[in-house]
Amino acid sequence: MSLVATAITKRFRDVTAVNNLSFTVPEGSLFGFLGPNGAGKTTTMRVVLDIIKPDQGQVTWRGRPFHQLGRGFYGYLPEERGLYPKMRVVEHLEFLGRIHGLDRGKAQAETRRWIERFDLGELSHKRIEELSKGNQQKVQTIGTMLHQPELLVLDEPFAGLDPVNTSLLKEVLLESHHRGCTVIFSSHRMEQVEEMCDDIVLIDQGSLVLNGNLKQIKRSMGRQILRISLEGKQDFWARIPGLRLLSSRADYQELRMDDGVDPNDVLREAMDAGQVTRFELVEPSLDQIFVEKVGAGA
């Protein structure tokens, strides 16, 4: 385990933003950090990176507490984006490279490389304030990885990016991952997390809901989702106790079975109702897990 958070608690006056939260991030993983709005994700990231001190608990990286490690071995994209508005793109990136510990030559070389990679060549001598929000975000994202950090912590890195840049960033994150970098990012787009991440943590109201390998989490939730499509009476399931309709799409319906319901019984009923063209037991999607775990309260 590379990053271990142990029982961290952070209070602001009478609000408890993070409450006795423990989780682990495996080394070299692409890690999804999930939670509804106001769950304490940003505060947790700040505590993890030793930007603010927790009231209790501690965070270690490869067994050593964060505050002993010095800064700059990681890259951090805060939720609140911000750059020096008067600086030029090249200047700013070189500066970010330098404060992350690169020497001047290396900072210049890396800046050139990344500007090309993110297709910012034409903008490289413009002031930050002249750039669009999306391009500013690209610059800031580059700023987190110029120095090839061991750890990347990105708060909503995809928010506000168009599809082209989204796939570009996805590519870059996967590259970092293959290089061995541990990448932690938060997102509201569950299918993206599902597509990219091996491991996740899900928090709600400052407390832990889920943490671990995404596949194992899904498996442990059980194959209790049924996908059925049939030509005939669509509402046959209403006669079976313990079934709930999750979604109804043009191509299939998704039903959730409570414990104790036998899928074979459901199949029999369906066959009575009409011609069954699809009958599948599937694991829940991350979206469904998310809604199920935090949706009730939210």
Partner 1 sequence: MSMIPVLVKREFTSRAKGTSYIITTVLGVLVFVGLSFLPPIVERFSASFVPDSIDLLVWEHPGENSILPYLEQVSQEREGLTIRSASGMDEQEAYRLVLDQGLSGLLLVDGPLYTLVTTDGTNMMLNGEIESIVNRAVNRFNAVRLGLSAEDMASLFNRVELKVREVTPLGEDGEELDSTAQSQAMVLTYFLLFMIYMALVMYGNMVATGVAEEKSSRIMEVMVSTVTPLELMLGKIIGVGSLGLLQFVIWVGTGFLMNTMGNTGVLNTLFGSSEILSTIPLDIVLWFGLFFVAGYFFYASIFAAAGALVSRVEEVSQVVSILMMMIMVGFFGAYTSFLNPNSAFAVVTSLVPFTSPMVMFSRIVLGNPPVAQIVVSVLVLFLSVLVGAWVSAKIYRIGILMYGKRPSLRQVVQLVKG
Binding site for partner 1 (CB under 8 A): 46, 49, 51-52, 71-72, 74, 76, 78, 80-87, 91, 95-96, 98-101, 140, 143
**Nearest CB to partner 1, comparing residues 98 and 227:** 98
CB of 202 to partner 1, least distance (A): 24
Closest CA to 212 of 294, 296, 286, 288: 286
211 within 8 A of 21, measured Cβ to Cβ: no
Q: How far is the CB of 49 from partner 1 (least distance, A)?
A: 6
Question: Could you tell me the smallest distance in angstroms from the CB atom of residue 46 to partner 1?
Answer: 7
Our CB check for partner 1 shows the closer of 9 and 224 to be 9
Nearer residue to partner 1 within complex by CB, 28 or 78: 78
Closest CA to 230 of 181, 155, 280: 280
Of 53, 50, 33, the residue nearest 41 (C-alpha): 33
Helix axes 133-145, 104-117, angle to 10 degrees: 130
Distances (CA, A) of 219 to 65, 158, 246, 247, 288: 33, 28, 19, 21, 13
Residue nearer to partner 1 on the CB measure, 79 or 198: 79
CB of 137 to partner 1, least distance (A): 12
- Least distance in angstroms from the C-beta of 31 to partner 1: 18
Contact 5/48 with Cβ under 8 angstroms? yes
Toward partner 1, which CB reaches closer, 94 or 199?
94
